[in-house]
Amino acid sequence: MTVRLIDSLATTEPLAQIFSDESVLQAMLDFESALARAESRLGVIPTSAATAIAASAQAKNIDLASLARATLRAGTPGIPLVKALTEEVRKHDPAAAGFVHWGATSQDVADTAISLLLKKSHAIFAADLDRLQKALAKISEQHKHSVLLGRTLMQAAPPVTFGLKAAGWAGAIHRGARHLNESFNAAAVLQFGGATGTLAFVADRGEELSRVLAKELGLACPESPWHTHRDRLATMICACGVLTGSLGKMARDISLLMQTEIAEASEPASEGRGGSSTMPHKRNPVACSLTLAAAQRVPGLVASFLSAMVQEHERGVGGWQAEWPIIASVIQATGLAIASMAEAAEGLPVDPARMRTNLESVNGVIFAERATALLAPKLGRDVAHKLLEAATKRCMAEGRHLADVLREIPEVTAHLDRAALDQLENPEAYLGSAEAFRKALLLSEEISSDENVAEEEDR
């Protein structure tokens, strides 16, 4: 399966396959064949009819182009699908044709098909998220002592460690993945309600038939049909939005670290990836670009889905019809963002030496906060702040280090001895609880890497 050119920056090959015409059609047909098997097991329809229906319920037997045209006229894929399947069954077993779609409605077909597609997508998400979280845990452990500039409002700030930064990404992604996993499990459920959600067509066999049908399809059976109650799907769509936002934050950070004048980290290089049609020297942030594009698209799609939740009575007008393309787009965009960041993290080159160079290039002004903390108990916070504000202005104007300027200020030397000023610009001495927070993030989110496991075994 190849990705359509217009979607080539919006999905992955596996997800494009899941949401391909053939896959969507087969998911609907899987509902029809499972329904027939479940009903035959309970004696609702003859076993011979179920066998004939299952044999005919193959995507290759249905003309996709004709189905798409008929769907536009019918307002639902279920009606033309059932008609086409019935005709296919009739070719081989005329008597069985009358039992196609027995007791179901068109929305049962479409909604359950989406649940089946979501279940397949969930497995892809889980594998890529596992790759990503393990890679981030490994980076965090490897760079727990790699010190770099903190950056607030895009400006130099007191130091942090790259290990803490990576753990921050990992923590947010793990929390988002946990919520997404829960919402996937809640959303990938059977929809089987018949005309108005009572299954009156099968008399009092509705609950039993629902349980058997759900088991046939490998889906959870909800407490009741959910025709116009779209909260489960909405929760999953919102979880995709949150996770994609966290992935986008990671992508934004990496792309900024890749800037030529920063050059502290970069995406892994490979043939044909990240180049320029006119500038051979460039290594563009491709994975970050794809992830950021997804993070920009998904919020609008989330809003569209939430707007479509307001559906009328037992069958909606327009809201339900809006959902299919929204769901397909959100799932594929989220999956692309996960896969892109997993690829970036697994081979992320990090340059601690460059981090140190950039840190030293600001002449120690980022340690003004530290100097203020040392002087405030002696001079008062306001006085210390004003003194350091003037000192940092001198540093920037004269191109000198903060410690050197402070050595010339009597109010400072009266309270800070030579040793204190010599250590003022040592970044490792001003990391606070960075390492404790890094460990807490990884441990609380149960994120591990091979290095962490080895470290635990050594103990």
Integer Cα distance of 227 and 451 in angstroms? 48
Q: If you write DSSP's letter for every residue of 7-25 in order, what string do you get? A: GTTT--HHHHHHTSHHHHH
Integer Cα distance of 343 and 252 in angstroms? 15
Residue 315 bears catalytic tag: yes
Burial (CB < 10 A; 0-12, 13-18, 19+), residue 186, is middle
Under 8 Å between Cβ of 71 and 63: no
Burial (CB < 10 A; 0-12, 13-18, 19+), residue 7, is middle
Burial (CB < 10 A; 0-12, 13-18, 19+), residue 72, is exposed
DSSP H or E stretch at residue 158: strand 155-161
Quick one: DSSP state of residue 220? Answer: B
Largest CA distance in the chain: 103
Q: Which two three-digit tokens encode residue 54? A: 């299952």
Q: What is the dihedral of CA 236, 238, 239, 241, to 10 degrees?
A: 130
**Amino acid residing at 240:** C
Under 8 Å between Cβ of 149 and 425: no
Q: Which two three-digit tokens encode residue 73? A: 């006229």
Matching residue, tokens 């699908």: 81
Q: Residue 283 — φ and ψ, nearest 5°?
A: -125, 95
Q: 456 Cβ partners below 8 Å, 6+ apart?
A: none
Residue 276 bears catalytic tag: yes
Catalytic residue selected from 230, 232, 315, 370? 315
**CA–CA distances in Å: residue 309 to residues 45, 109, 253, 296:** 35, 19, 34, 22
Under 8 Å between Cβ of 163 and 145: yes
Catalytic residue selected from 276, 307, 433, 444? 276
**CA–CA distances in Å: residue 136 to residues 233, 291, 334, 387:** 29, 16, 18, 41
Catalytic residue positions?
Answer: 276, 315
